[in-house]
Structure 1
Amino acid sequence: MDKSRHDFLEEETVEKVAWSFKALSDPTRIRILYLLTQEECSVGHIAEVLNLSQSAVSHQLSFLKNHRLVKARRDGQSTYYSYDDNHVIEILKQVINHSLHE
């Protein structure tokens, strides 16, 4: 077999793709990201809407922020979160649509 006729991904690219899927592999992170597609939210609002503790929300937002999937905006003493990567949101929406397709 002639390997020269195939395209291969760089190892760094493979790792980044795996990390993106890892970020989407947690049900709580999926719920948070999906909520953020609808509105910018504070930790307290996310916790209330999703019936989670503020600690759990903060932990997941930290993970998502470290992976550049959410961003934070300060307004006085409040911090509001929104999604930061439209590509990942489009993948999330496609997978949601796929899971709803019977």
Structure 2
Amino acid sequence: MVSKSNANALPSPESSPSLTHPIVPDQSRLDAATATFRMLSDPTRLHILWILADAEADVTALTEACGASRTAVSQHLAKLRFTGLVDTRRDGRRIIYRIRDGHLARLVREGLNHADHVVTGEPAHE
């Protein structure tokens, strides 16, 4: 168990990023997590993030993969970029989108894995 005195400690600069952060969540962390879940609550945004969890893509590829209009995909990408969930880079005249970090990619994948269990009735597992 993590003591409350260590709950807000930052990793030392020499340590590498970890997959888990065993801390007691304070209000700022709860608010940040809630904001992320809020952005995941839209089916089109979730679909976009699921695609970007596997590979970078431009608006055209995301539009084709999602089946949403280009305008809708562009608006969702703007929200995802504004909230810091996706990054961009320029490739000639195209803007390429990518998911910001591995935690978010794993969260998206796990959410959809959970949904598969709900939809198919497959028993839950650890």
Q: TM-score range by the shorter chain?
A: 0.7 to 0.9
Greater relative contact order (Cα 8 A, min sep 6): structure 1 or 2?
1
Q: What SS does the corresponding residue of 2:56 show, helix, strand or coil?
A: coil
Q: AA paired with 2:69?
A: S
Q: Let me know the Cα RMSD of the aligned residues.
A: 1.8
Deviation track 1:69-93 (CA, whole Å, cap 9, x = no partner) reads 1111101211111111210111111
Report whether the alignment pairs 1:76 with 2:92: yes
Deviation track 1:24-49 (CA, whole Å, cap 9, x = no partner) reads 11100111011112221111111122
TM-score, normalized by length of structure 1?
Answer: 0.84
Which structure shows the bigger proportion of residues in helix conformation? 1
Look up the match of 1:93.
109
Structure 2 residues without counterparts, runs of 5 or longer = 5-22
| Corresponding pairs, count | 97
Identity of aligned residues (%): 33
Q: What SS does the corresponding residue of 2:88 show, helix, strand or coil?
A: strand
Report whether the alignment pairs 1:18 with 2:34: yes
Q: AA paired with 1:76?
A: G
1:15 and 1:30 map into 2 onto residues whose CA distance is 19
TM-score, normalized by length of structure 2?
Answer: 0.69
Deviation track 1:2-42 (CA, whole Å, cap 9, x = no partner) reads xx9xx863222221111011011110011101111222111
